[in-house]
Structures are given as structure tokens and as C-alpha cells.
Amino acid sequence: MSYVGEIVHGIRTLLTGMAVTGKYFFRARKEIITQQYPDNRDQLRMFERFRGEVVMPHNENNEHRCTGCQACEIACPNGSIEIIWDRKVDEKTGKKKKYIVKHIYHLSMCTMCNLCIIACPTDAIKMAQNFENSVYDRSYLTKVLNKPGSKLMDGIDE
């Protein structure tokens, strides 16, 4: 290809690109696409399938479904879940039963892969919709999921 032919080819491709851009510029969508994030916090909703962070739901009696089986801890590929557990005598049966002391979740290490949720046999943990986790100190990203004084729901066995 000659020198002049390359220049003509370059100008033609430039005009083709500008035509595509001009088409989108003059025939823009009428609805607003960009969301003004900090200003729209009250009406902002995340998608149903969004994975924000791991939480442990408790009922109104401060009871949870975690038996301390450590399936979520084992399934986590990078160790972002720690379960500290102990055994105590159950008043009803008289046998020693496992209970969780702390269910620790390190959000700073979590990859939001959902493997811990899938591995949990009692559906004790789930992914929440929270996405605002920016902090100045990384230690604030380590959370204890079980509430103080919480206990295992009745009818859930190990």
C-alpha cells in the first residue's frame, strides 16, 4: 500500500469511528442511566443476587441456626471464617453439646465466593446486601457474627 493510500485508509477509519460516536451522542437514551450514589441512598437497592458480606440472622429471641460444625470454615478457600467453639452439658439430655463461642468473619479477606453459604447444612449464614464497607482501619472489617448471649434454636441438631 502506498503512503497516500495509508493516509486515506486512516482518515476513513477515523471518520467511521466518529460516525459511531456521533450516532450515540445524538440518539442518546432518554432515561437516566447514571445513578448519583451518595444522594440516592434512600431509594438505592442492590440486585437480588448481589453478594455483599456474610451475616448470621438471629430471630427475635436472639437465637441462631449455627451448630458450630465448621463446614463453612473448611469450605472457605482463604480462611476468612473462624469458629471458636466449646462443649457444655445440655440440661435436657445431660450430654455434652457443642456450642459456638464466637463466629468470626474477616471481611477484608473474603472473596465473596459464596462457598461457605453453600456448605452450611443448617442455613445459619447468608450473604447480605450491604456494600458500604469502606473504613480507615482494617480491623473494623473483622466481625463477630453471633450476637452476645445468643443461643442455638431448638430443633436444630449437629
Residue 142 cell numbers, joined = 473483622
54-152: CATH topology: Alpha-Beta Plaits (3.30.70)
Residue-range domain boundaries for the chain: 1-33, 54-152
pLDDT per residue as tens digits for the range 114-140: 999 999 999 999 999 888 888 999 999
Distance CA 26, CA 155 (A): 63
pLDDT per residue as tens digits for the range 32-74: 667 777 788 788 777 888 888 999 999 999 999 999 999 999 9
Quote the pTM value: 0.71
> Closest Cα partner for 142 from 99, 80, 83?
80
- 3-state class of 43 per DSSP? coil
Average pLDDT, the chain: 89
